[in-house]
């Protein structure tokens, strides 16, 4: 009977664990291979600006003279195009997604001459959220 099909579906699920999660208390863990927050590794980058030219969202601002890389987190669409084009493999996509922010700010990463690195994250969300789980 047609009526009991829905009933049986409902009855079956009434005794199961819910498939939903209690979101703010249990954050969703992204699956392996998810395209999350863009991670920039200082040190390799030669500031060739190839990534900034290719970025479809214009989220990267690279200054050749000042040796700075600016990532606009709110523009970045995590497409991974910069990961593909960078000759030095300076970028990778983390699995975790960037956290929500309340103000618009970009993240400036400064690379001093020599090989010492000073990652100076300006944005509130920091730079460490992108570690794979």
Partner 1 sequence: MARTIIPFGPQHPVLPEPVHLDLVVEDEKVVEARPSIGFIHRGLEKLAEKKDYVEFVYVAERICGICSFIHGQSYCQAIETIMNVTVPPRALYLRTVWGELSRIHSHLLWLGLLADAMGFESLFMHSWRVRERVLNIIEATTGGRVIFGSCKIGGVRRDIDPAMITHIQSEMKTIEKEMREITTVFMNDRSVKSRLCGVGVLTKQEAYELGCVGPMLRASGVAQDMRKLGYAAYKDIPVEPITRTEGDSYARCAVRSEELFQSVDIIRQALERIPDGEIAVKVTGNPNGETIMRTEQPRGEVAYCVKATGSKNLQRFRVRTPTFANLPAMLKVLQGCDLADVPVLVLTIDPCISCTER
Residues numbered 17-36 forming contacts with partner 1, rule: CB under 8 A? 19, 30-35
Q: Are 21 and 28 in contact (CB under 8 A)?
A: yes
Tell which one of 11, 29, 77, 120 touches partner 1 (CB under 8 A).
77
90 near ligand SF4, judged by CB under 6 A: yes
Q: Which of 69, 63, 73 is nearest to 41 (CA)?
A: 69
From 7-15, 23-31, 85-93, 95-103, span contacting ligand SF4 (CB under 6 A): 85-93
From 8-16, 43-51, 68-76, 119-127, span contacting partner 1 (CB under 8 A): 8-16
Compute the distance between CA of residue 110 and CA of residue 56 in angstroms, rounded to an integer: 23
CB-nearer residue toward partner 1: 20 or 103: 20
Q: Are 35 and 93 in contact (CB under 8 A)?
A: yes
What stretch of H or E contains 50? helix 50-54
CB-nearer residue toward ligand SF4: 9 or 37: 37
Tokens found for residue 35: 């395209």
**Minimum distance, C-beta of residue 89 to partner 1, in the bound complex (Å):** 16
């Amino acid at each position: 009977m047609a009526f009991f099909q829905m009933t049986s579906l409902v009855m079956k699920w009434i005794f199961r664990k819910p498939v939903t999660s209690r979101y703010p208390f249990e954050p969703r863990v992204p699956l392996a291979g998810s395209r999350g927050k863009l991670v920039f590794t200082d040190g390799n980058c030669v500031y060739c600006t190839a990534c900034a030219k290719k970025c479809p969202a214009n989220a990267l601002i690279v200054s050749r003279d000042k040796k700075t890389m600016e990532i606009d987190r709110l523009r970045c669409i995590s497409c991974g195009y910069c990961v593909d084009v960078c000759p030095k493999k300076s970028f990778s996509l983390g699995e975790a997604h960037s956290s929500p922010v309340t103000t618009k700010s970009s993240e400036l990463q400064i690379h001093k001459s020599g090989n010492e690195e000073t990652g100076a994250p300006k944005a509130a969300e920091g730079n460490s959220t992108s570690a794979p789980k």
